[in-house]
Structure formats: C-alpha cells, structure tokens
C-alpha cells in the first residue's frame, strides 16, 4: 500500500526564519515519484518539484531546497529566509503506476 | 494556452440530483485525473485516465462516473448527489516526457450538496 504522511499539521514562523516541512512515505515499489505542491489561500495548486526514486540528489531552487533520503523514506522541503508570500498549505505526494497519493498537508503561516 | 479549465466554479445541489463537472485541457496530455479535497485530508484520487477511451478507479470512486472520449475532455459525473460529496473537486492533467512528469491542476470546483 502507498501512503504519505505529513505529521506537521500547522507551522508558524516569523519572516526570514528557515522552516522545514517533513514528508514521509511508504511504498513497496522500487519505481515511484515524489512531488511537492503549494496551495496558497486562493486555492489553486502549484507544482513545485518532482523527484524520481532513482535520483537522491538534493535540489535547490532559489530559497527552496529538497532533501530526499530513501533510507528513511523521507522527502523534506526547506524554505530558507521565509517570506509572508510563502504562507500556504504544502502537500507532499507520491505517484506510482499513474496513481497519486497525497499527504494531508502542512499549513505554513509566515508572520511579518 | 488555457491549461486545465474546470466548470462550474461553484455549484449547489440537492440530495439526489445528478450533475457533470467539466474538465478540459489544451496541452495534449494523455493523463488526466479527478481529485476531491476535504478539510484536513489532502487530495484523494477519484478516477483517472491514461488516454482516450481508458479510465480507471482511484481511492474513492463510489458515486462518480467518468468517461474519456477525447484527449481534451474528462468529465466527472455525480450520479445521485449526497451531502458526503460536498467538497472541492480538482481536475489535473500531466505528461511524461523522458521521465519528467509534471501535473497541472485546474482551479477547482466547489460543490455543496444540501
């Protein structure tokens, strides 16, 4: 069975703080893909990153970085120097054989 | 390029009524899917399609039907609406090119079943 767990329901930080959003997944398959999406208060879903199971290289994109560790089945997302515009719900997801499995999301509040 | 479009944006139904949520994409994506989003539960896959004429069930398919007669359109039908189907519905499409699959979501349809 596939499962994605985002244990942090809600996180509040002050602007310019760094924040890490945790994602732990379960799958018995060796080939799968992991995603992060952002859902701002306006409600749309914005794709952030995709990583396949054979690529454990960490990735950095501006203030965003992702740490993928197969040994711990984790795909954590770090925002450096957070900004108010980062306030949103962030979802981690796993795709396997065309089926997406989403975590329940982490709501990030960035206060000025 | 409109991306993924959904209509209507908001709908109120009475229990037992039927309706169709429309989804269209103009990116020639083969893969399309429907999700529902309920508070605190993330998104759950209802149905998906890997190409015209091919559909399959996701996690929560009961009470919903889909068809895929064209690459562009993937409507979701509620056969007999129930209050438990009150939710926000998202349609998505994606391609897989050299292993770089990216999924694009529509703006969502808010459905209230009374």
pLDDT of residue B102: 72
Phi, psi of A16 (to 5 degrees): 85, -10
Chosen for mutation from B30, B33, B42, B106 (greatest number of chain A CBs closer than 10 Å) is B42
CB pair distance less than 8 Å for B101 and A33: yes
Q: What distance in Å separates the CA atoms of residue A48 and residue A56, rounded to the nearest whole number?
A: 17
Q: Each residue of B56-91: pLDDT tens digit?
A: 999 899 999 999 999 999 999 999 999 999 999 999
Phi, psi of B95 (to 5 degrees): -125, 165
Q: B9, B73 in Cβ contact below 8 A?
A: no
Min CA distance, B18 vs chain A (Å)? 25
Q: Each residue of B16-56: pLDDT tens digit?
A: 999 999 999 999 998 899 999 998 778 999 999 989 999 99
Phi, psi of B76 (to 5 degrees): -115, 125
What contacts A36, CB < 8 A, 6 or more positions away?
A23, A48, A49, A66, A75, A77, A90, A91, A92, A93
Instruction: Assign residue B103 a region (left: φ > 0; alpha: ψ between -120 and 50; beta: otherwise).
Output: beta
Residue among A6, A47, A103 whose CB faces B103 most closely: A47
């Amino acid at each position: 069975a596939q499962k994605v767990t985002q244990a942090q329901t809600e996180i509040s930080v002050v602007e310019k703080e760094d924040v890490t959003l945790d994602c732990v997944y379960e799958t018995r398959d060796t080939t799968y893909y992991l995603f992060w999406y952002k859902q701002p208060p306006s409600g749309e879903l914005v794709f952030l990153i995709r990583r396949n199971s054979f690529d454990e290289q960490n990735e950095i994109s501006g203030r965003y970085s992702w740490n993928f560790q197969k040994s711990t089945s984790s795909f954590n997302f770090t925002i450096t120097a957070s900004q108010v515009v980062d306030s949103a719900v962030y979802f981690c997801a796993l795709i396997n054989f065309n089926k997406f499995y989403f975590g329940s999301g982490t709501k990030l509040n960035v206060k000025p | 390029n409109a991306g993924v479009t959904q209509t209507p944006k908001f709908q109120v139904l009475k229990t037992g009524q039927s309706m169709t949520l429309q989804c269209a994409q103009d990116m020639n994506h083969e893969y399309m899917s429907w999700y529902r989003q309920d508070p605190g539960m993330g998104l759950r896959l209802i149905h998906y399609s890997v190409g015209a004429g091919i559909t399959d069930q996701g996690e929560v398919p009961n009470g919903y039907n889909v068809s895929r007669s064209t690459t562009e359109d993937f409507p979701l039908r509620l056969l007999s609406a129930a209050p438990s189907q009150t939710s926000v519905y998202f349609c998505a499409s994606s391609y897989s090119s050299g292993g770089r699959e990216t999924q694009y979501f529509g703006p969502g349809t808010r459905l209230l079943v009374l």
